Amino acid sequence: MNTEELKQIADALMADDKGLLAMDESLPTCNKRFKAAGIPQTEEYRRKYRQLIVTTPGLAESISGAILFDETIYQSTDDGVLFIDVLQKAGIITGIKVDEGTAEMPGSPKEKITKGLDGLDIRLNNYYGLGARFAKWRAVITIGKNLPTEANIQANTETLAKYARLCQEDDIVPIVEPEVLMDGDHTIERCYEVTERVIKELFRQLEKEGVYLPGLLLKPNMVIAGKDSHIKNSTDEVATATINCLLASVPHDVAGVAFLSGGQTPQQATANLHEMHVKYESKLPWPLTFSFARAIQQPALDIWKGKDKNVKAAQDMLRFRASMDSAARVGRYSV
């Protein structure tokens, strides 16, 4: 484990006013989004779409790192340049999603556990050789009646910690993503309670595995009421609950915190991040930024619709959303 290299990469990912772009949708997720937008669900269309993203002019002004999916890391532009080389030339660090999706939790069918530890060390080695310098693993936690179970929190946090340790042994910065889902009709208070419990247990497990925190990033959900609760929290409520929850659960020596958007609208996610910086900047012990997928990409995907003639307009939208998030990350977003 080269702690110096890990820290240097983690700090570079959190530097200045930049954030991360998650463009690592798995095949089923990417195909689902394509289907909804009327785009053919083929490897070639996925390549074209990822090409649109990585060749967006000026993207690196707001984005420090891009998280790719396995299929994407081997793909190239129409001119035969590997996406990973396009990103590197632009000054964007390449990351890779290394979990292999979720499966039903034995004994608790409404909950999920994340797969992918088998053979992970070999895959990490391979990805490092290809040029990836950071990785992502997503666990999902479901809020519901008597959920989450303690067993589910244990299983998911234990696996996240083992993954993080393996990454660091291969000099890859791990992003640990314990996503407490927005699905459900729970209140913001319930989201707070579950998120705090999960993150505290995660850091207990990370410590047990001897994970080096200055070479690790946390990717949490914002603390917010469930989608079906019909409660619309104000930016002030979300910012206050989220920051209090993170201050109570995240050690100070973590390299940074980068949020997922989780199904919030792009405007909501951006405004909430902005509010956290406006209200709490001076209290934050770690850099705080974004690692959005939908909140950056969805408006661009809706413009593209799989048509070459829409590429430029879609890229303009992608750059615009990323720049709004970059402004929010330093408390300078205005609607």
In the chain, the amino acid numbered 224 is I
Q: Residue 121's Cα: distance from chain center in Å? A: 21
Task: List the helix and strand counts (H, then E) for the chain.
Answer: 12, 10
Q: Which positions from 15 to 34 touch ligand 13P by CB under 6 A, shown as an x/- string?
A: -------x------------
- Confirm or reject binding of residue 262 to ligand 13P (CB under 6 A): yes
**Letter string b/e over residues 203-223, b meaning 16 or more CB atoms within 10 A of that residue's CB:** bebbeeeebbbbbbbbbbbbb
- Confirm or reject binding of residue 261 to ligand 13P (CB under 6 A): yes
Task: Tell me the helix, strand and coil percentages in the chain, rounded to 5.
Answer: 50, 15, 30
**Candidate ranges 186-194, 259-267, 311-319, 323-331; the one touching ligand 13P (CB under 6 A):** 259-267
**Candidate ranges 85-93, 183-191, 258-266, 272-280; the one touching ligand 13P (CB under 6 A):** 258-266
Among 18, 48, 112, 138, binds ligand 13P (CB under 6 A): 138
List of residues 6+ apart from 191 with CB closer than 8 A: 143, 180, 221, 223, 224, 225, 226, 241
Q: Does the active-site annotation cover 5?
A: no
- Confirm or reject binding of residue 68 to ligand 13P (CB under 6 A): no
* CA atoms of 322 and 327, how far apart (whole Å): 9
Nearer to ligand 13P, 95 or 287 (CB): 95
Least distance from C-beta 222 to ligand 13P, angstroms? 10
Strands, E assignment, the chain: 19-23, 63-68, 93-97, 102-105, 108-114, 134-141, 173-180, 217-218, 256-259, 288-292
Least distance from C-beta 4 to ligand 13P, angstroms? 27
Are 125 and 166 a contacting pair, CB within 8 Å? no
Least distance from C-beta 172 to ligand 13P, angstroms? 17
Least distance from C-beta 176 to ligand 13P, angstroms? 11
Nearer to ligand 13P, 34 or 292 (CB): 292
Q: Which contiguous run of DSSP H or E holds residue 132? A: none
Least distance from C-beta 295 to ligand 13P, angstroms? 5
Beta-bridge mates of residue 288: 257
Nearer to ligand 13P, 47 or 97 (CB): 97
Query: How many residues of this chain bind ligand 13P (CB under 6 A)?
Result: 10
Interface residues for ligand 13P in 170-199 (CB under 6 A)? 177
Q: Concatenated DSSP letters for 304-333?
A: HTT-GGGHHHHHHHHHHHHHHHHHHTTT--
* CA atoms of 161 and 155, how far apart (whole Å): 10
| Options 112, 136, 162, 219, the catalytic residue | 219
Nearer to ligand 13P, 174 or 262 (CB): 262
| Options 111, 177, 179, 275, the catalytic residue | 177
- Smallest CA-to-CA distance from 243 within 319, 303, 169, 192 is with 192
- Confirm or reject binding of residue 163 to ligand 13P (CB under 6 A): no
Q: Which positions from 265 to 304 touch ligand 13P by CB under 6 A, shown as an x/- string?
A: ---------------------------xxxx---------
Q: Does the active-site annotation cover 275?
A: no
Residues in contact with ligand 13P by CB under 6 A are 22, 138, 177, 260-262, 292-295
Which residues does the annotation mark as catalytic?
A: 177, 219
